[in-house]
């Protein structure tokens, strides 16, 4: 994440060189594409410990081959590949490939470049880097390195161009594949359901949200602006295949919002939300035929593999032999078999793909699976719906069901590998091993730090090698597509889609959220924090400003208190805050609200008022002005905050209030570009400091509080206040005198 | 506006245009992938193969006939492997191989090599065939270049350097080269290229030639069933319509989902304009009409030496139905589609297409529950076919052998087997 833009806010992207429209048109006949070969996820772990995701074999072809071939089949000329983890491996693979190597005469691309970004932590960093390089001259196709698709983009490109000619602000077309309303395996496998609000007549995308089965509330709030479009459809039946047709303006947008990380959840959502600010229009191209999907997780991997075997992806099917040296033929039993495969008499292979040099001994039954090259399958083996990669050895009598067995794995005789097992590279299983089925085993020879794991004899047997791989479940050091959303990632990290074992009962989560979530904030137990944080996060994400209150029907005190305070702050007719204060105290008594709850309600109310002042409807004030206005417009408000909100002189309670402000800002985060939320926090803190509500010790204590940096979003907000805190820390001596003067000024204002 | 609303999807035409701007190997490879991705298919394959082999003859380095033959064989087998269910590719390769052998044996008999070479250049330059573009191919000076002596000498230099043994990848540098050989290589090159142009012409004109026989085959008042009319069949019917009054029953698969026009709308318009009635028919209603029909016509993708046909799927039902009712089945197939081999196992099982023609991928439960095998080609056994209408005239299957013998040399029949993996 780029930290230097800490206080830039919305202005950060202004320095962007003006797009050269003339040049755009000239080079239009050269189609450029950008492949994002790393998605900063760990859903394919433990396999991705050794191999980058885009080189994992999908029906015995590295995933990136599908993507490159897709681009080639669409006549793309220039390709730029952004690699993150394992970038050397990907580069080596491409350079050694006779078809794609830029040095090769037969490459269908006129240029193919790798771009390395040393400190990239997210896709957003890639795209901001791309913007700086200004190598993109016109419309380009942005794809991920795991797209499998046979669609032809010509029609979508032509539409995109026509729209752009008509209106410069039509800057992006998202290509989506409809999968119908009935349950669909591709829809089930993706874990997160994207929700697109689309104008069906123009195809304009109006709002983007995400839902997943684990969130506490199964509803979405529509942005009121959506209704102004006249006609709209809310569609959840779309598979997002990660193919975007963009103009260079899109990159400028990325640069402007330097904290966007994910192309969908952050960028698409944010840009649509801020439509009134940036005026950019995004369109959705919804396809009803053709195939497009992304191998984003193991379930999608499973689903796409089946689709390839069933030829939905034609011409990207094994017997097209798109990779040099492949010799697949379709044989009886709907299987694809390469040359030099020895299947002994009595071996049965149906609906599978078997790579060159594999031997299958007698009595073995293989169905719905892909077997890599040079595998050795023993006698009477049963392999169902599994993915066996190159050089694996499966001993006699073993049984593999719906699992992934990676390269060079040795499975001993009579092993039972139940559904959902993931066995990573070079693992050895001794004979007669029965792997656990609940939860499915996930065995790796390496640990997360890429060290050799200590062999777990109880799991893999005496002669075995490898140990259970445990997923690091904290959202902080994995820049997962779901960021802090631990839960959907759990859904997606296994091969089998299952809601079993996950706490799905909405009642229990919502109980937690309504009664305890806020009260327990101050002293969250480790166990509770995950769920409570989770649900409140989900709510924040999905709630629009206007209906934020309605989202918490149970939390009577909070809602009423916040509403009352905000109304009082908004009121034009009176500038007295005492009435509101009385009302608030009354509510507090009636509900027996804790100090924490009060603190939070006050924080939310002021933050909401300040945030409101930022919006164009209310004058579009600068964050500093807005903060000042919110706090000082009403007489007695500052005093109220000081007495009731902070509730004392102690450093601890001041820190708590700062924390409450920060959390409250997180709540309205989606309304604001996050940069402004950070700026607003800094402004509020500064105002409170100069109004003598918070003291520097309080702010510093908040800064030091680990909860303030907890989670990505919180950390981002906190980061924006670094300047303020540093200034406080460094310059407290000089400031103290000025501060007093300021204080007097403010007091004067207050008494006006 | 419309700043080159250029379609980016690569096509055969685009490839042919790019021949001169990219190395030979790149052209071959792009064609292979066009074939693999099915972006070039059906009748385009023959044309594509002829074009690329012309480039192979023109651009690759070879010093004698054997080298040329092996070059063509290896490129040809790569193409044939790329699209195993497009036998036409192999046919064109065989034709070119046969052509090279013929020219070479003529050459050996010819005495006056030098003059022949000169006359070749002259005979070549004025004839601007429907070749891709008269851009300078190394050995073939374009008319504008001839006027300046410097350019000619340059191209002569190229000519010699092509024959330079050091450049040849195939032979050792020690191969003794006679003075006369470069000239003969040059002559052979232009002759072969001429021959390939002729093959291309034949491919291009075949449909028209076949259409020329339409009035013999179609009689006034006929009811003609055309099953999924191909381009060849369309032209045939339109030509017949200009002379005869008859009725065409167009049978096809069900109305394609989302299509704005019923299938073959343009054909129907053309036929109606000429005063020929048309009836559209879904293929499952075909049987009911068979008693009324006088003849069944469809195009073939390939004809095997036993007389069996590779056709679009569904045609077999039409042929079988016609056979039951003793209605003549007329197959339109240009000579270049005759394969001197027997159908393979894969051919008889048919090529599998994308299941989405029958089940939409959006239909989740069906995608999960069904295993859809959409065969896009059929094999029709020879006994169901009555007349093979080629561009050389109507034939019966008893005379196919002579056509094959006329067009292919026995040594080229198994060309793709003679070479291993390149």
Mean pLDDT of chain A: 76
Contact residues on chain A for B367, CB-CB shorter than 8 A: 184-185, 312
Closest CA to A98 of A314, A322, A337: A322
A310 shares contact with chain B (CB less than 8 Å): yes
Among the partner-chain residues A99, A158, A180, the one whose CB lies closest to the CB of B363 is: A180
Coil, strand or helix at A465: strand
Q: Do residues B235 and B189 share a domain?
A: no
Give the span between the Cα atoms of B263 and A45, in whole angstroms. Answer: 50
Beta strand A170-178 with A238-246 is antiparallel
Is A108–B9 a contact, with Cβ atoms under 8 angstroms apart?
no
B354 shares contact with chain A (CB less than 8 Å): yes
Q: Do residues B47 and B178 share a domain?
A: yes
- pLDDT average, residue stretch A689-706: 79
pLDDT of residue A498: 63
Domain assignment of residue B409, yes or no: no
pLDDT of residue B138: 42
Domain assignment of residue B154, yes or no: yes
Of the CA atoms within 13 Å of residue B359, those in its CB half-sphere come to 18
Q: What chain A residue is nearest to B26 in terms of C-alpha separation?
A: A106
Q: Do residues B252 and B371 share a domain?
A: yes
Among the partner-chain residues B3, B6, B373, the one whose CB lies closest to the CB of A25 is: B3
A521-530's contacts with Cβ under 8 Å and 24+ in sequence apart are A521/A596, A521/A600, A521/A663, A522/A596, A522/A656, A530/A486
Alpha-carbon separation of residue B346 from A332, A697, B310, B340, B342 (angstroms): 10, 81, 11, 17, 11
pLDDT of residue A359: 94
Is B364–A351 a contact, with Cβ atoms under 8 angstroms apart?
no
Q: What chain A residue is nearest to B3 in terms of C-alpha separation?
A: A25
Give the span between the Cα atoms of A266 and A273, in whole angstroms. Answer: 10
Domain assignment of residue B246, yes or no: yes
Q: Do residues B169 and B267 share a domain?
A: no
CB within 8 A of A193, min separation 6: which ones? A187, A210, A211, A212, A236
Is A288–B258 a contact, with Cβ atoms under 8 angstroms apart?
yes
Q: Is the pLDDT of residue B226 over 60?
A: yes
- pLDDT average, residue stretch B193-201: 93
Q: Do residues B260 and B337 share a domain?
A: yes
CB within 8 A of B15, min separation 6: which ones? B27, B30, B31, B34, B48
Q: Do residues B259 and B337 share a domain?
A: yes
Domain assignment of residue B355, yes or no: yes
Task: Please tell me the total count of domains within chain B.
Answer: 2
Coil, strand or helix at B354: coil
pLDDT of residue A361: 94
- pLDDT average, residue stretch A440-444: 87
Is B8–A74 a contact, with Cβ atoms under 8 angstroms apart?
yes
- Give the H or E element holding residue A701: helix A696-704
Contact residues on chain A for B36, CB-CB shorter than 8 A: 315, 320-322
- How confident is residue A179, by pLDDT bands cut at 50, 70 and 90? confident
Contact residues on chain B for A184, CB-CB shorter than 8 A: 362, 364, 367-368
Smallest CA–CA distance, residue B87 to chain A, in Å, is 16
Which stretches of B244-354 are DSSP H helices? 265-273, 286-289, 315-324, 345-349
Domain with B189 in it: 2-208
B102-115 residue pLDDT tens: 888 887 776 444 44
Give Dmax (Cα) for chain B. Answer: 75
Cα Rg, chain A, nearest whole Å: 29
Q: Do residues B287 and B158 share a domain?
A: no
A474-528 residue pLDDT tens: 443 333 333 334 456 666 677 776 655 454 433 333 333 333 333 333 333 333 3
Smallest CA–CA distance, residue B159 to chain A, in Å, is 24
- Contact, A171 vs A281, CB < 8 A? yes
Q: Starting from the edge strand earliest in sequence, which strands make up the sheet with A382-384, in order?
A: A348-350, A365-367, A382-384, A399-401, A416-417
Q: Is the pLDDT of residue B16 over 90?
A: no
CB within 8 A of B331, min separation 6: which ones? B297, B298, B299, B300, B303, B309, B385, B387, B388, B389
- pLDDT average, residue stretch A182-191: 78
Q: Complex ipTM, two decimals? A: 0.78
Q: Where among B162, B186, B208 does a domain terminate?
A: B208
> In residues, how long is chain B?
422
Other beta carbons less than 10 A from residue B288's beta carbon: 10
A321 shares contact with chain B (CB less than 8 Å): yes
- pLDDT average, residue stretch A324-343: 88
Q: Do residues B317 and B192 share a domain?
A: no
Better pLDDT: B402 or A595: B402
CB within 8 A of A617, min separation 6: which ones? none
pLDDT of residue A739: 46
pLDDT of residue A710: 72
Is B364–A182 a contact, with Cβ atoms under 8 angstroms apart?
yes
pLDDT of residue B146: 39
Among the partner-chain residues A106, A154, A312, the one whose CB lies closest to the CB of B361 is: A312
B179 shares contact with chain A (CB less than 8 Å): no
Contact residues on chain A for B370, CB-CB shorter than 8 A: none
Q: Do residues B204 and B220 share a domain?
A: no
- How confident is residue B46, by pLDDT bands cut at 50, 70 and 90? very high
Give the A window 60-99 contacts with B, CB below 8 Å: 69, 72-76, 99
B373 shares contact with chain A (CB less than 8 Å): yes
A182 shares contact with chain B (CB less than 8 Å): yes
Q: What chain B residue is nearest to A312 in terms of C-alpha separation?
A: B354
- Phi, psi dihedral angles at B296 (to 5 degrees): -115, 130
Domain assignment of residue B421, yes or no: no
Q: Please tell me the least confidently modeled range out of A115-124, A355-364, A396-405.
A: A115-124
Coil, strand or helix at A414: coil
Smallest CA–CA distance, residue A113 to chain B, in Å, is 19
Coil, strand or helix at A265: helix
Beta strand B329-332 with A442-444 is unpaired
Q: What chain A residue is nearest to B368 in terms of C-alpha separation?
A: A185
Contact residues on chain A for B83, CB-CB shorter than 8 A: none
- Contact, A292 vs A151, CB < 8 A? yes
Q: Where among B208, B226, B253 does a domain terminate?
A: B208
B3 shares contact with chain A (CB less than 8 Å): yes
Is B353–A153 a contact, with Cβ atoms under 8 angstroms apart?
no
Give the span between the Cα atoms of A236 and B105, in whole angstroms. Answer: 70
Cα Rg, chain B, nearest whole Å: 24
Is B362–A178 a contact, with Cβ atoms under 8 angstroms apart?
yes
Give the span between the Cα atoms of B287 and B283, in whole angstroms. Answer: 8
Is A29–B25 a contact, with Cβ atoms under 8 angstroms apart?
no
| Cis peptide upstream of residue B90 (ω within 30 degrees of 0) | no
What is A578-592 written as a DSSP string? Answer: HHHHHHHHHHHHHHT
Q: Do residues B193 and B282 share a domain?
A: no
Q: Where among B163, B179, B208 does a domain terminate?
A: B208
A101 shares contact with chain B (CB less than 8 Å): no
A180 shares contact with chain B (CB less than 8 Å): yes
Is A105–B26 a contact, with Cβ atoms under 8 angstroms apart?
yes
Domain assignment of residue B419, yes or no: no
Instruction: List the end-to-end C-alpha distance of chain B, in Å, as a whole number.
Output: 48
Is A321–B360 a contact, with Cβ atoms under 8 angstroms apart?
no
pLDDT of residue B325: 92
**Overall pTM surpassing 0.95 (yes/no):** no
Among the partner-chain residues B6, B23, B352, the one whose CB lies closest to the CB of A311 is: B352
A134-166 residue pLDDT tens: 888 888 999 998 899 999 888 889 989 899 888
The CATH number of the domain holding residue B237 is 3.40.50.10470
Among the partner-chain residues B23, B36, B356, the one whose CB lies closest to the CB of A315 is: B36
Among the partner-chain residues A28, A154, A161, the one whose CB lies closest to the CB of B9 is: A154
Domain assignment of residue B274, yes or no: yes
Better pLDDT: A717 or A365: A365
Is B362–A154 a contact, with Cβ atoms under 8 angstroms apart?
no
Better pLDDT: B94 or A577: B94
Give the span between the Cα atoms of B311 and A114, in whole angstroms. Answer: 46
Coil, strand or helix at A742: helix
Q: Do residues B227 and B197 share a domain?
A: no
Domain assignment of residue B74, yes or no: yes
Is A310–B355 a contact, with Cβ atoms under 8 angstroms apart?
yes
- How confident is residue A619, by pLDDT bands cut at 50, 70 and 90? low
Q: Do residues B271 and B237 share a domain?
A: yes
């Amino acid at each position: 994440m780029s930290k230097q833009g800490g206080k830039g806010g919305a202005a950060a992207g202004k320095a962007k060189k003006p797009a050269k429209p003339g040049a755009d048109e000239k080079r239009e006949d050269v189609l450029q594409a950008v492949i994002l070969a790393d998605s900063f996820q760990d859903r394919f772990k433990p396999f991705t410990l050794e191999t980058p995701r885009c080189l994992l074999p999908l029906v015995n072809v590295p995933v990136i081959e599908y993507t490159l071939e897709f681009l080639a089949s669409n006549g793309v000329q220039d390709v730029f590949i952004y690699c993150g983890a394992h970038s050397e491996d990907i580069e080596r693979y491409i350079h050694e490939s006779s078809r794609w190597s830029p040095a090769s005469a037969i490459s269908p691309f006129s240029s193919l470049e790798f771009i390395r970004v040393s400190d990239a932590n997210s896709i957003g960093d890639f795209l901001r880097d791309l913007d700086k390089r200004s190598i993109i001259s016109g419309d380009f196709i942005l794809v991920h390195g795991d797209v499998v698709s046979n669609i032809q983009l010509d029609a979508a490109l032509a539409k995109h161009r026509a729209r752009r000619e008509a209106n410069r602000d039509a800057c992006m077309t998202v290509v989506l594949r409809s999968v119908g309303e009935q349950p669909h395996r591709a829809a089930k496998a993706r874990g997160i359901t994207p929700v697109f609000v689309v104008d069906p007549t123009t195809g304009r995308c109006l709002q983007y949200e995400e839902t997943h089965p684990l969130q506490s509330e199964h509803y979405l709030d529509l942005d009121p602006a959506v209704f102004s479009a006249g006609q709209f459809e809310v569609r959840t039946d779309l598979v997002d295949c990660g193919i975007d047709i963009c103009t260079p303006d899109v990159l400028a947008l990325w640069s402007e919002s330097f904290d966007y990380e994910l192309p969908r959840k952050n960028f698409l959502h944010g840009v649509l939300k801020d439509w009134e600010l940036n005026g950019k229009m995004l369109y959705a191209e919804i396809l009803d035929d053709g195939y497009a999907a992304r191998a984003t997780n193991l379930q999608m991997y499973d689903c796409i593999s089946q689709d390839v075997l069933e030829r939905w992806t034609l011409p990207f099917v094994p017997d097209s032999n798109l990779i040099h040296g492949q010799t697949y033929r379709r044989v009886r039993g709907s299987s694809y078999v390469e040359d030099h495969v020895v299947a002994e008499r009595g071996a049965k292979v149906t609906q599978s793909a078997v790579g060159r040099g594999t031997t299958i001994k007698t009595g073995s039954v293989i169905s719905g699976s892909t077997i890599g090259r040079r595998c050795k399958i023993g006698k009477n083996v049963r392999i169902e719906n599994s993915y066996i990669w190159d050089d694996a050895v499966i001993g006699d009598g073993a049984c593999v069901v719906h699992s992934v067995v990676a390269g060079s794995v040795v499975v001993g005789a009579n092993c039972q590998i139940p559904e959902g097992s993931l066995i990573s590279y070079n693992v050895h299983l001794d004979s007669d091993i029965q792997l656990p089925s609940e939860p499915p085993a996930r065995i790796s020879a390496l640990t997360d730090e890429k060290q050799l794991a200590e062999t777990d004899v109880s799991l893999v047997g005496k002669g075995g090698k490898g140990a259970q791989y445990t997923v690091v479940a904290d959202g902080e050091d994995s820049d997962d597509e779901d960021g802090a959303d631990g839960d959907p990632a759990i859904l997606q990290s296994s091969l089998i889609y299952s809601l079993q074992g996950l706490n799905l009962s909405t009642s229990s989560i919502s109980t937690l959220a309504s009664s305890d979530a806020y009260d327990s904030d101050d002293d969250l137990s480790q166990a509770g924090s995950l769920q409570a944080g989770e649900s409140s996060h989900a709510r924040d994400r999905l709630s629009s400003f206007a209906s934020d209150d309605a989202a918490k029907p149970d939390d009577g005190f909070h809602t009423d208190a916040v509403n009352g305070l905000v109304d009082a702050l908004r009121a034009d007719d009176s500038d007295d805050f005492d009435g509101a204060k009385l009302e608030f105290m009354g509510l507090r008594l009636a509900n027996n609200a804790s100090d924490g709850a009060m603190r939070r309600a006050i924080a939310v109310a002021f933050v909401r008022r300040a945030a409101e002042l930022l919006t164009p409807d209310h004058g579009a004030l600068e964050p500093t002005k807005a903060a000042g206005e919110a706090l000082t417009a009403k007489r007695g408000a500052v005093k109220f905050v000081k007495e009731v909100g902070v509730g004392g002189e102690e450093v601890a309670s001041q820190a708590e209030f700062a924390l409450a402000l920060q959390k409250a800002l997180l709540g309205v985060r989606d309304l604001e570009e996050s940069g402004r939320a950070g700026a607003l926090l800094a402004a509020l803190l500064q105002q409170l400091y100069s109004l003598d509500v918070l003291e520097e010790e309080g702010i510093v204590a908040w800064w030091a509080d680990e909860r303030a940096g907890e989670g990505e979003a919180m950390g981002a907000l906190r980061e924006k206040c670094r300047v303020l805190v540093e200034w406080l820390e460094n310059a407290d001596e000089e400031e103290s005198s000025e501060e007093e003067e300021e204080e007097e000024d403010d007091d004067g204002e207050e008494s006006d | 506006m419309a700043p080159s609303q250029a379609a980016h999807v690569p096509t055969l035409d685009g490839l042919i245009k790019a021949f001169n701007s990219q190395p030979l190997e790149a052209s071959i490879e792009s064609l292979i992938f066009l074939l693999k991705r099915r972006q070039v298919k059906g009748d385009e394959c023959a044309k594509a193969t002829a074009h690329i082999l012309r480039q192979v003859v023109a651009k690759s380095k070879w010093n004698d006939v054997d080298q040329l033959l092996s070059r063509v064989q290896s490129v040809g087998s790569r193409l044939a492997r790329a699209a195993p269910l497009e036998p036409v590719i192999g046919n064109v390769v065989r034709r070119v191989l046969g052509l090279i052998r013929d020219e070479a044996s003529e050459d050996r008999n010819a005495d006056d090599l030098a003059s022949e070479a000169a006359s070749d250049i002259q005979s070549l330059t004025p004839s601007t065939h429907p070749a891709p573009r008269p851009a300078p191919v190394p050995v073939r000076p374009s008319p504008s270049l001839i006027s300046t002596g410097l350019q000619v000498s340059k191209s002569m230099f190229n000519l010699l350097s092509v024959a330079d043994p050091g450049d040849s990848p195939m032979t050792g540098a020690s191969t003794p080269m006679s003075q006369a050989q470069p000239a003969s290589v040059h002559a052979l090159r232009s002759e072969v290229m001429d021959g390939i142009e002729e093959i291309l012409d034949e491919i291009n004109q075949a449909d028209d030639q076949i259409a020329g026989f339409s009035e013999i085959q179609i009689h006034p008042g006929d009811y003609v069933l055309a099953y999924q009319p191909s381009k060849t069949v369309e032209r045939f019917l339109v030509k017949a319509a200009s002379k005869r009054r008859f009725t065409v029953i167009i049978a096809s698969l069900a109305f394609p989902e989302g299509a704005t026009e019923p299938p073959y709308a343009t054909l129907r318009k053309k036929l109606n304009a000429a005063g020929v009635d048309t009836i559209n028919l879904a293929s499952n209603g075909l049987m009911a009409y068979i008693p009324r029909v006088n003849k069944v016509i469809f195009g073939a993708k390939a004809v095997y030496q036993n007389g069996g046909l590779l056709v679009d799927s569904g045609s077999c039902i039409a042929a079988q139905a016609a056979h039951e009712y003793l209605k003549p089945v007329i197959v339109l197939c240009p000579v270049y589609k005759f394969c001197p081999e027997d159908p393979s196992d894969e051919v008889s099982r048919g090529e599998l297409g994308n299941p989405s023609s029958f089940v939409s991928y959006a239909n989740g439960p069906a995608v999960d529950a069904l295993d859809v095998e959409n065969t896009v080609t059929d094999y029709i056994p020879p006994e169901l076919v009555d007349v093979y209408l080629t561009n050389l005239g109507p034939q019966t299957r008893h005379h196919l052998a002579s056509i094959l013998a006329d067009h292919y040399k026995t040594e080229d029949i198994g060309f793709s087997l003679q070479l291993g993996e390149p």
